[in-house]
């Protein structure tokens, strides 16, 4: 009566740190890896036959082993190698996907200079990469960033929207605009300069966010994305998710005070959620 | 050069508690609602025209207003009403989706009886519902549960899997099997007895989990899903995600002790991840 | 110029699960242990002499080793054994403290009966124990519970408080009273029936919470504590921390609706915080 | 039979953002405030008399009102003003304490320059301040930082420690040393240059952490603290809590690989915990 539909399995939260020890300095990366396999696993579900199951523990070991073998300096490259290895060595697998988060470790500044072997966490955001390889196809590669917290204290308005019987939001010509952005960009070609592209995209996004005369989150999101596409020729499209970090103007008139856009209450919930893909 | 692709927006984490005050007892529900709209919003992105934008603040108010008007006793029913209201009152919207989480408040037991107006949080899991309505179509409705933590201390084995040069996992004929399950089930008809179905599905899932002679997570997942389909005629398919809550047998031989399956270290990361859809 | 003041060190988040395998059923406990040592460690700080340092890694191993040796069925008893072992085997240690959290695993109910080897997480709360032993002294033992989420939908008022120029809170004779309580109780004697006491305390606390005509959080907290002291002869005092889980009545008059104590917005922040010790 | 012991109450997680709008740039601070009062509250507990209770909701309003009135640029100064206000206006209060966390917003760098009105979250750490004022006494003021994540990939050893039957940790002459430090420093005088001191302390701590030939966490902690005391004349003592962010060297020999200190697994639990106060 029942039958198996779409399915996948793998290992999540495989953390690995790699230290490349140069004479003058170290390179250090901390990655959190998730691997998922699609393939011919039906008999495992329906007949308890584990003969085609690569244990998720072995997938974890594969991350450690490959981290040692690999020269990959970006999560995108490491993801391509990892997905490729799993496909090449497991004929029952038809598609492998890898997601990697890289923590924001930055070289610590001591006496005005970057210390060669010491690091400080530079922000809550993580750099991300996603690689999917279907057997016989080119890798589909995305780069991204999750949890980028940015905020501007002026040049943000929101007026002219629909009013109905449930509207209570006052129009504002100068509000706080904060967001915890999640971004991902798709590469046109599987082999690209991932590092350079990451820099181009983020620089463009941040510059537009700062300088934009925002008339809505949507308006700013679009112009940020458009600038990223213009700055990064290797990408075909970009997706931005920009939930509001609402900062509510406090009503101080109850205490006999004015509040000329000075005192706000930041809130986490509820929050607005705006998401869009911008393509060439 | 750039153009807008897929996009949606709305409000997340709209929390609402409803207390229905009967003479002999109260009914209390705490819901966390997310609403997302698809539609004709291009000019907002590209021309900063907010004329078709229903503010997310108004969506929040809609939740509060509707919670007062509605007789809905399940998150599925409330989701259908909410998505329907947004579509009916906003011609620019082509699709509305609503996701609701209900917290696990249970009546507190005092002197052996359920107290009529006092509650205790019964577990970390939340009851979920998802409703999507495209204009002109029937609602697509799912029920579910997120974060259901269950564990069995016997009747779980894992042997006969692929061994390769990276294998270090020993076979086990009696291991701990714990998971933090996420489940969702799709209804064949948009109007069903959501509450009764929820009970049928969960009872079936838990009974099989407890009694199963598990030869792998996949094996148990499939039999749990099959039992749920058999028990709940209103659903067409069910999706289970069952990440491992790994409990590692401690090597006590280093201290001159045996460890006959008694002392384990529970770990959160890395963890196995198994996901499948089972259909009729 | 500088000198070492108060200091301590140890290991946190040592997780251990113990399964006692009876013929008819299993007993399973999941504990999260923290161990801290005070003692003669000055030269480690000031002269980099590690000769008196028991590595925290060894403390972790001690938890695993003792879990296997011990017959302790409660976290209080295990804490006494663990602190005692560390003191007895490390002459440089002058005081050992152990804190243990036990997760709320409950036997799963299948067909109306508790399944002998399967468990479900019963709530977000953890059962706690704290043991401090100073060399030459009796153990100081506390039991407790953290994160107990309870809520009542009636019999809670708050009126007659101070009003000043910054007051905006309206008085209420019927509000929601929710809390995420943290409780700890001190034992008069180091060896007591910890399990029985835990039951006495929690039963008394919950019964009063449910039945109380609350005129403030303080009022209910005190009566809960008094009932616990009356019910549990082995304890000398009890500390309750009861932050509010505020549920704000929504102003629906803006939408032309009444809100007769039916629709609320639960909020996490800001929240009230009330804490008191009640002694015999 | 029962009587009230130590008690306090107040408001937690009062978030407030203040934007000071200069012509050329803005100053923006986001604070999370906790206020607690001690005083003559016994009848509230024992007789349900709320006549001496300042509602926690009013305390929240006090934060907003004072944020508007105040010129305070540091959390220490704002804490002094807030505790002082509560004491001055509530004769039943004998002691007021205020804890403030300031988020790590930094001016965003655009085209190589700090943008005057745009910010990025610079790290997971928060700047902290704690103020306690007992009626009739000088304020006790501390500054601090919580959650400072720092890591060095060399110049860290751990040898010469106690070995016993439960020891399994191998000695290491070159390990990763990572920590999520929490620091607080006490001021000798209630009115000091809090901002300058914060800079002095943090610069000293970070420089020593980077350059230290660490023979243990204790060893480095002490030298960091000593340097901070030397750099910051306004403080009387400093407390450092430095839990390990353990990075475990992976055993790659099972896969026929060497691992010359290159591939590590970062883990969150269990973790070492070292805490000490260093005084002048």
Is residue B1 predicted with pLDDT exceeding 80?
Answer: no
- DSSP secondary structure letters along chain B: --EEEEEEEEEEEEEEEEEEE-SS-EEEEEEEEEEEEEES-HHHHHH---TT---HHHHHHHHHHHHHH----SHHHHHHHHHHHHHHT-TTEEEEEEEEEEEEEEEEEETTEEEEEEEEEEEEEEEEEEEEEETTSPPEEEEEEEEEEEEESSSB-B-S----TT--PPPBSS--EEEEEEEEEEESSSS--HHHHHHHHHHHHHHHHHH--BSSHHHHHHHHHHHHHHH-TTEEEEEEE--B--EEEP--GGGT---SS-EEEE--SSEEEEEEEEE-
> Which residues in chain A touch residue D153, judged by CB atoms under 8 angstroms apart?
19, 21, 26, 28, 117-119
The torsion region of residue B203 among left (phi > 0), alpha (psi -120 to 50) and beta comes to alpha
- Inter-chain contact C19–B176, Cβ cutoff 8 Å? yes
Quick one: how many helices (H) and strands (E) in chain C? 5, 10
How much is the pLDDT for B98? 98
Nearest to C254 among A168, A254, A255 (CB): A168
In tens, the pLDDT along D219-254 reads 999 999 999 999 999 999 999 999 999 999 999 999
Which position has the higher pLDDT, C257 or A191? C257
Cα torsion for C228, C229, C233, C237, to the nearest 10°? 120
Secondary structure E strands in A53-176: 93-102, 105-110, 113-121, 126-134, 140-152
**Would you call D11 a catalytic residue per the annotation?**
yes
Distance from CA of C96 to the nearest CA of B (A): 22
> Which residues in chain A touch residue D120, judged by CB atoms under 8 angstroms apart?
123, 148-151, 206
> Which residues in chain B touch residue A41, judged by CB atoms under 8 angstroms apart?
218
Nearest to C54 among D12, D162, D226 (CB): D162
Nearest to B270 among A12, A36, A169 (CB): A12
Q: Bridge-partner residues for C93, per DSSP?
A: C39
Q: Which of A53, A95, A5 is nearest to B239 (CA)?
A: A5
> Which residues in chain A touch residue D68, judged by CB atoms under 8 angstroms apart?
252, 255, 257, 259, 262-263
Task: Check if the beta carbon of residue B175 is closer than 8 Å to that of residue B156.
Answer: yes
Q: How many alpha carbons fall within 13 Å on the CB side of residue B219?
A: 19
Q: Cα–Cα distance between C220 and C274 in angstroms, integer?
A: 11
Residue B94 tokens read as 């082509």
Residue percentage of chain D with pLDDT more than 90: 98
Q: By CB neighbour count within 10 A (0-12 exposed, 13-18 middle, 19+ buried), where does B112 fall? A: exposed
Per-residue b or e along A250-264, where b marks 16 or more CB atoms closer than 10 Å to that residue's CB: bebeebebebebbbb
- Inter-chain contact D257–A68, Cβ cutoff 8 Å? yes
- Inter-chain contact C151–B28, Cβ cutoff 8 Å? yes
Q: Cα–Cα distance between B120 and B113 in angstroms, integer?
A: 13
- Inter-chain contact D263–A68, Cβ cutoff 8 Å? yes
Helix (H) / strand (E) element for D26: namely strand D26-39
Task: Check if the beta carbon of residue B25 is closer than 8 Å to that of residue B116.
Answer: yes
Task: Check if the beta carbon of residue C110 is closer than 8 Å to that of residue C96.
Answer: no
- Inter-chain contact C270–D14, Cβ cutoff 8 Å? yes
Distance from CA of C6 to the nearest CA of A (A): 28
> CA geometry: angle at C245 spanning C241 and C251, to 5°?
150
Instruction: Pick the residue from chain A with its C-alpha nearest to D118.
Output: A152
Q: Which of B229, A164, B119, B145 is nearest to C153 (CA)?
A: B119
User: ipTM value of the model?
Assistant: 0.96
The number of residues in chain C equals 280
Per-residue b or e along C125-155, where b marks 16 or more CB atoms closer than 10 Å to that residue's CB: bbbbbbbbbeeeeebebbbbbbebbbbbbbb
Residue D203 tokens read as 């610069």
The number of residues in chain B equals 280
Helix (H) / strand (E) element for D144: namely strand D140-152
How much is the pLDDT for C77? 98
pLDDT band at D1 (very low <50, low <70, confident <90, very high): confident
> Which residues in chain C touch residue A269, judged by CB atoms under 8 angstroms apart?
268
Is residue C1 predicted with pLDDT exceeding 80?
Answer: no
Q: Cα–Cα distance between A221 and C250 in angstroms, integer?
A: 32
Is residue C171 predicted with pLDDT exceeding 90?
Answer: yes
How much is the pLDDT for D192? 85
Cα C177 to the chain's mean position, in Å?
A: 20
Q: Bridge-partner residues for D219, per DSSP?
A: none
Please tell me whether the overall predicted TM-score, pTM, comes out greater than 0.90 for this model.
Answer: yes
Q: Cα–Cα distance between B128 and B147 in angstroms, integer?
A: 10
> Which residues in chain A touch residue D224, judged by CB atoms under 8 angstroms apart?
none
pLDDT band at D190 (very low <50, low <70, confident <90, very high): confident
Q: Cα–Cα distance between B64 and B66 in angstroms, integer?
A: 6
How much is the pLDDT for C191? 83
Greatest distance between any 2 Cα atoms in chain B:
75
- Inter-chain contact A162–B51, Cβ cutoff 8 Å? yes
- Inter-chain contact C176–B17, Cβ cutoff 8 Å? yes
Terminal-residue alpha carbon distance, chain B:
46
Nearest to A152 among D118, D252, D257 (CB): D118
Distance from CA of A161 to the nearest CA of C (A): 19
Greatest distance between any 2 Cα atoms in chain D:
75
Distance from CA of B95 to the nearest CA of C (A): 25
**CATH 3.40.50.300 holds for B9-138:** no
Neighbour subunits, C (≥3 Cβ pairs < 8 A):
A, B, D
Strands C263-266 and A263-266: unpaired
Helix (H) / strand (E) element for D218: namely helix D217-231
Nearest to A165 among C166, C255, C269 (CB): C255
Q: Bridge-partner residues for C184, per DSSP?
A: C144, C239
How much is the pLDDT for D74? 98
Q: Which residues on chain C place their C-beta less than 8 Å from a C-beta of chain A?
A: 165-166, 168, 254-256, 268-269
Q: Cα–Cα distance between C13 and B278 in angstroms, integer?
A: 38
Is residue B190 predicted with pLDDT exceeding 90?
Answer: no
**Would you call B56 a catalytic residue per the annotation?**
yes
Query: Among residues D11, D29, D38, D212, which one is catalytic?
Result: D11
Query: Among residues C26, C43, C56, C94, which one is catalytic?
Result: C56
Q: Cα–Cα distance between A100 and C111 in angstroms, integer?
A: 43
Strands B26-39 and C140-152: unpaired
How much is the pLDDT for B191? 84
* Beta-carbon contacts below 8 Å between A and B: 238
Only one residue has tokens 């409660």, namely C74
- Inter-chain contact B2–A225, Cβ cutoff 8 Å? yes
Residue D252 gets which letter from DSSP? -
Nearest to D6 among C5, C225, C277 (CB): C277
Q: Cα–Cα distance between A179 and C72 in angstroms, integer?
A: 50
pLDDT tens, chain A, 280 aa long: 799 999 999 999 999 999 999 999 999 999 999 999 999 999 999 999 999 999 999 999 999 999 999 999 999 999 999 999 999 999 999 999 999 999 999 999 999 999 999 999 999 999 999 999 999 999 999 999 999 999 999 999 999 999 999 999 999 999 999 999 999 999 999 888 999 999 999 999 999 999 999 999 999 999 999 999 999 999 999 999 999 999 999 999 999 999 999 999 999 999 999 999 999 9
Query: Among residues B18, B43, B52, B56, which one is catalytic?
Result: B56
Task: Check if the beta carbon of residue C147 is closer than 8 Å to that of residue C125.
Answer: yes
Alpha-carbon torsion A85, A89, A94, A96, what sign?
negative
> Which residues in chain A touch residue C268, judged by CB atoms under 8 angstroms apart?
268-269
**Would you call D56 a catalytic residue per the annotation?**
yes
Task: Check if the beta carbon of residue C5 is closer than 8 Å to that of residue D240.
Answer: no
- Inter-chain contact A51–B160, Cβ cutoff 8 Å? yes
> Which residues in chain B touch residue C247, judged by CB atoms under 8 angstroms apart?
17
Nearest to D250 among A64, A150, A151 (CB): A64
Instruction: Pick the residue from chain C with its C-alpha nearest to A251.
Output: C168
Instruction: For residue C14, give Cα distances in angstroms to A98, C61, C64, C100, D276.
Output: 31, 9, 9, 9, 21
Spatial CB neighbours of C254, under 8 Å, sequence gap ≥ 6 = A168, B61
Q: Cα–Cα distance between D187 and D172 in angstroms, integer?
A: 38
> Which residues in chain C touch residue A168, judged by CB atoms under 8 angstroms apart?
254
In tens, the pLDDT along C104-144 reads 999 999 999 999 999 999 999 999 999 999 999 999 999 99
Q: By CB neighbour count within 10 A (0-12 exposed, 13-18 middle, 19+ buried), where does D177 fall? A: buried
In tens, the pLDDT along D109-147 reads 999 999 999 999 999 999 999 999 999 999 999 999 999
Q: Which of D263, D216, D268 is nearest to D246 (CA)?
A: D268
Task: Check if the beta carbon of residue A266 is closer than 8 Å to that of residue D17.
Answer: yes
In tens, the pLDDT along B217-270 reads 999 999 999 999 999 999 999 999 999 999 999 999 999 999 999 999 999 999
CATH number for the domain formed by residue range(s) A148-279: 3.10.270.10
Is residue C254 predicted with pLDDT exceeding 80?
Answer: yes
Q: Which of B23, C101, A120 is nearest to D269 (CA)?
A: C101
Mean predicted confidence (pLDDT) in C64-69:
98
- DSSP secondary structure letters along C113-158: EEEEEEEEEEEEEEEEEEEEEETTSPPEEEEEEEEEEEEESSSB-B
Positions of CATH 3.10.270.10 in chain A: 9-138, 148-279
In tens, the pLDDT along B122-131 reads 999 999 999 9
How much is the pLDDT for D191? 83
Alpha-carbon torsion A111, A116, A118, A121, what sign?
positive
pLDDT band at C30 (very low <50, low <70, confident <90, very high): very high
Q: Which residues on chain B place their C-beta less than 8 Å from a C-beta of chain D?
A: 165-166, 168, 254-256, 268-269
């Amino acid at each position: 009566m029942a039958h198996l539909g779409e399915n996948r399995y793998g290992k999540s939260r495989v953390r690995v740190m790699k230290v490349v020890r140069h004479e003058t300095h170290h390179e250090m990366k901390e990655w959190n890896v998730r691997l998922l396999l699609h393939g011919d696993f039906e008999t495992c579900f329906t007949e308890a036959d584990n003969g085609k199951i690569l244990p998720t523990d072995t997938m974890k070991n594969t991350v450690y082993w490959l981290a040692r073998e690999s020269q990959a300096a970006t999560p995108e490259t490491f993801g391509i190698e990892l997905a490729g290895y799993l496909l090449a060595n497991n004929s029952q697998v038809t598609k492998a996907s890898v997601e990697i988060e890289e923590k924001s470790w930055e070289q610590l500044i001591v006496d005005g200079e970057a210390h060669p072997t010491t690091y400080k966490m530079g922000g809550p955001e993580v750099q991300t990469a996603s690689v999917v390889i279907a057997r016989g196809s080119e890798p589909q590669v995305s780069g991204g960033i999750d949890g980028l917290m940015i905020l501007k204290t002026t040049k943000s308005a929101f007026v002219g929207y629909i009013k109905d019987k449930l509207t209570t939001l006052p129009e504002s010509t100068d509000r706080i605009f904060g967001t915890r952005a999640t971004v991902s960009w798709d590469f046109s070609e599987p082999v690209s300069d991932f590092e350079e592209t990451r820099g181009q995209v983020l620089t463009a996004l941040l510059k537009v966010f700062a300088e934009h005369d925002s008339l809505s989150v949507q308006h700013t999101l679009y112009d940020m994305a458009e600038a990223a596409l213009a700055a990064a020729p290797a990408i075909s499209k970009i997706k931005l998710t920009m939930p509001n970090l609402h900062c509510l103007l406090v009503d101080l008139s109850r205490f006999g005070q004015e509040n000329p856009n000075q005192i706000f209450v930041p809130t986490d919930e509820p929050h607005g959620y705006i998401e869009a893909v911008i393509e060439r």
